[in-house]
Copies of this chain bind each other. A is one copy, B any other.
Amino acid sequence: MKEDPRLIATRQAALDAAQKILMDKGVLHVTHGAVSKATGISRSTLYRHWPDARSLRDAAFRRIATPPNIPPKTDGPLQSDLRWLLGVLMGALNDTPWGQIAPQVVAAASTDEEARLVITEFMKDRFASVEAVFSAAISRGEITADVPVEQLIELAVAAPYFRKLIRHETLDEDWLDQHVDLLCQIAKTNSRH
């Protein structure tokens, strides 16, 4: 037996609004009252779906933090693969809700176990993508297993996140080109050929 469409519609509308509030005004303003006023859904209905403020916020976090599927490109060369993958990652930070919401999740993670799970899983996923690119390059013999892959992965992902979330600097194509160039240079100078 299928789920009542009213449940689905309510959840969707409510979380859409919660997401928007989260992005525009911060986690402090995500309340049943605010969502009710934004959507027209009555407060009592919202309380039935999410019994307290925290579960509402968690739901909003989870909805946004779901990692988009990144179609893998590992056919080389390394510079090209890396540039493409980090380009997608950068695009997500710049143009999707995730980019705007990430700071809130980061903060929540420091006191909230649920939020911490959300972000560590998300990052594990990102790391796996980058790792696949390096592994492919090693398999092709483009670089050797001597390169400190762990460190490179961390630097590759850390830079755009740090730049966006903490420094509030722009993430543009020029910056990314330089970043990828440097990563590849490190990879190559650490390869024994």
Contact = CB atoms under 8 A, between A and B. Distances in A.
Contact of A26 (B24, B100, B108): B108
A18 to B, nearest CB: 15
A27 interface: yes
Q: How many monomers of this chain does the complex have?
A: 2
A107 B155 contact: no
By secondary structure, the A interface counts as helix
A107 B154 contact: no
A148 interface: yes
Contacts of A45: none
Nearest to A112: B26
Contacts of A119: 166, 168
B162 A154 contact: yes
Contacts of A163: 154, 158
B159 A155 contact: yes
Contacts of A94: none
A168 B28 contact: no
A111 B165 CA distance: 12
30 contacts: A26-B107, A26-B112, A27-B28, A27-B107, A28-B28, A100-B110, A103-B106, A103-B109, A104-B107, A106-B106, A106-B107, A106-B166, A107-B107, A109-B168, A119-B168, A148-B178, A148-B182, A151-B178, A154-B162, A154-B163, A155-B159, A155-B182, A158-B158, A158-B161, A158-B162, A158-B166, A182-B186, A185-B186, A185-B189, A185-B190
